[in-house]
Amino acid sequence: MTTADPISGVFAALADPTRRAILARLASGEATVNELAEPFPISLQAISKHLNVLERAGLIARTREAQWRRCRIEPAPLRDIAGWVEQYRRLWEERYDTLGGYLDDLQKEQS
Amino acid sequence: MTTADPISGVFAALADPTRRAILARLASGEATVNELAEPFPISLQAISKHLNVLERAGLIARTREAQWRRCRIEPAPLRDIAGWVEQYRRLWEERYDTLGGYLDDLQKEQS
DNA sequence: CGGTTAATCAACCGATAGGTTGAGAGTACC
DNA sequence: GGTACTCTCAACCTATCGGTTGATTAACCG
């Protein structure tokens, strides 16, 4: 991630399976850091770093509550990703599911 | 990307703005490596590396044609990403009603 | 054959990612 | 106040990323 491009940060955050698992957990409700860390075989500090990445990407928000940090998912960046991918929908939606017809039809589309 | 998890590779590939620009270019038709490299201020070798990343992620395919390698986009991984993001759609549809029509509008705008 | 063009391979480099351990800050509870 | 618990900060380490330059493979052309 060379640039400060926000969408790059979202994709980069989603590129890690641990972070996707954390998001999946948060999709079913808020959780504290320890609760999020529990399923993983890595240190709490590593989880804290993952949460930093998710937070900088805008994918989660943390609120402090006594000694706990409660984390919740923030869906806006996911919506952005969905919008980005949507640009390419026609490539698999219209017509070609077989590789055979794909090349021919793409060629035709060009001319 | 610690694991061999295929979807992680796709997200990682999409995390780079140069690679996303290459995909955008390929969405409008096939191109050779030199054609793809032309808009960027970096070396051809760097572009070649980016194409390797995209190819390993399944996002493009390369066919050799005389001395040229013709690149084309492979939409299947993008469809997978769309499917993955879809899991979270309710999070912004249920909680953030004001954004409800976003995707519909985007759809309209594209066509 | 020799020269040119297209693209990759290979080695290297600085920066960053993801993990560790150890220490520290903030809050609750007795 | 002392102790326990929750979480972050800081330093460090290794591997990977994104870029460079230089050499190499492969095909075409005169």
Please name the member of B29, B79, B91 whose beta carbon is closest to the beta carbon of A73.
B91
pLDDT of residue B91: 86
Task: Flag the least confident range among A29-38, A50-59, A102-111, B30-39.
Answer: A102-111
Q: Is the pLDDT of residue B92 over 90?
A: no
- Is any Cβ of chain A less than 8 angstroms from the Cβ of B16? yes
**In angstroms, what CA-CA distances link B77 with A90, B34, B36, B57, B82?**
14, 24, 20, 8, 9
Q: Is the pLDDT of residue B88 over 60?
A: yes
Residue with tokens 């939409």: B75
The kind and range of the H/E element at B17 are helix B17-27
pLDDT of residue A34: 97
pLDDT of residue B95: 55
Question: Which of A110, A82, A108 is closest to B27 using CA atoms?
Answer: A110
- Is any Cβ of chain B less than 8 angstroms from the Cβ of A90? yes
* Nucleotides in chain C near protein beta carbons (<7 Å): 5-11, 16-23, 26-28
Cα B17 → chain centroid: 10
Task: Flag the least confident range among A33-42, B24-33, B85-94, B101-110.
Answer: B101-110
Cross-chain residue pair B88–A110, CB shorter than 8 Å:
no
Give the whole-angstrom CA distance, residue B72 versus residue B60.
5
**In angstroms, what CA-CA distances link A29 with A36, A48, A87?**
11, 18, 30
pLDDT of residue A47: 98
* Per-residue pLDDT tens over the stretch A45-101: 999 999 999 999 999 999 999 999 999 999 999 999 999 999 999 888 875 555 555
